[in-house]
Chain A
């Protein structure tokens, strides 16, 4: 399973969640899989997706907030994990698509291979932690954590591939903000 396939599988199971997509191909793959007003494509500020999702989750407790993170970006903003664990928002789901590489800059390795990100999430205080490696496991674990209490952490182990990248994010940043704010307001 590639990260793009994992994003497609997860996107198909989304309902009305607000989804923060991290920098790089995660944004582009999500736009291709399911472009929706509740997606926030964070094209810059690598490492901040989980913190951004945390701020939304705390401010909008009635909405489900999902972060689509990568291994490189979660490791860059790792300090967010203990803050999420300590503030413990029940409506936050943190998904990490871990392909072991910085894909959009040419598949340079990250250090995710030597870190147990799921054990780290347990240690930081996430209420549910799961791991998936196949499409079947991903669908099953997503459905399970989606119906339970957060904060939840789902580590999705993916294979790195070389493939033509999906199209760049079409909307300008200001337009992403406008569209997302309306989706937040409606949720």
Chain B
């Protein structure tokens, strides 16, 4: 499902992330956030490829404990894997992370394997107490600022869901 992205959206997103101090990026590949992974890989900030999304949350949590500001990139199919990590590590230990999640199955318009998580990933994250932002393409930097504010105030993860065409 390819929707043409706004030109320069990934560069602008990375600039916003850096402006808010994010300096540790890892995750599992996803086509919806592929342009940002590409930007990170060409940038000194770098991007570390994990084997599964919950293990990426573990790595990023370790980096946060060591003083970094961490973001985890993934497809929403990985959200289920992450729920135990988020609920029994990040939320109770107060280890903030930024989750940048490709929003497959948005409004049911996607391959069958994405429909159920596409319909419920926002609610699942909100249900356990994670704030979710679903920005329009021109509001992505604003969403980074809002998520960052949540992380600083509540010291918990926040999620930005990226619909196809935003990045």
Contacts and interface: CB of A to CB of B under 8 A. Distances in A.
Interface of A: 20, 40, 42-60, 77, 79-80, 82-83, 87, 173-174, 176-177, 180-181, 184-185
Given A45-B85, A46-B84, 6 more contacts: A40-B65, A48-B54, A77-B55, A82-B51, A83-B50, A83-B59
Nearest to B48: A87
Contact of B59 (A44, A55, A184, A185): A55
Contact of A51 (B24, B58, B66): B58
A70 to B, nearest CB: 15
Interface of B: 24, 26, 48-52, 54-68, 70, 84-85, 87-89, 92-95
Contacts of B95: 177
B54 to A, nearest CB: 7
A82 B89 CA distance: 23
Nearest to A67: B62
Name the residue among B59, B62, B95 with the largest chain A CB count within 10 angstroms. B62
A80 B65 CA distance: 18
B92 A173 contact: yes
A174 B156 CA distance: 11
Contacts of A184: 65-67
B66 A60 contact: yes
A51 B92 CA distance: 18
B66 A83 contact: no
B67 A174 contact: no
12 contacts: A44-B88, A45-B58, A45-B85, A47-B54, A48-B89, A51-B59, A52-B61, A55-B24, A55-B61, A55-B63, A77-B55, A80-B58
Contacts of A176: 93
Contact of A48 (B58, B68, B87, B92): B58
B66 A56 contact: yes
Nearest to B85: A45
B130 to A, nearest CB: 15
B159 to A, nearest CB: 18
Contacts of B93: 173-174, 176-177
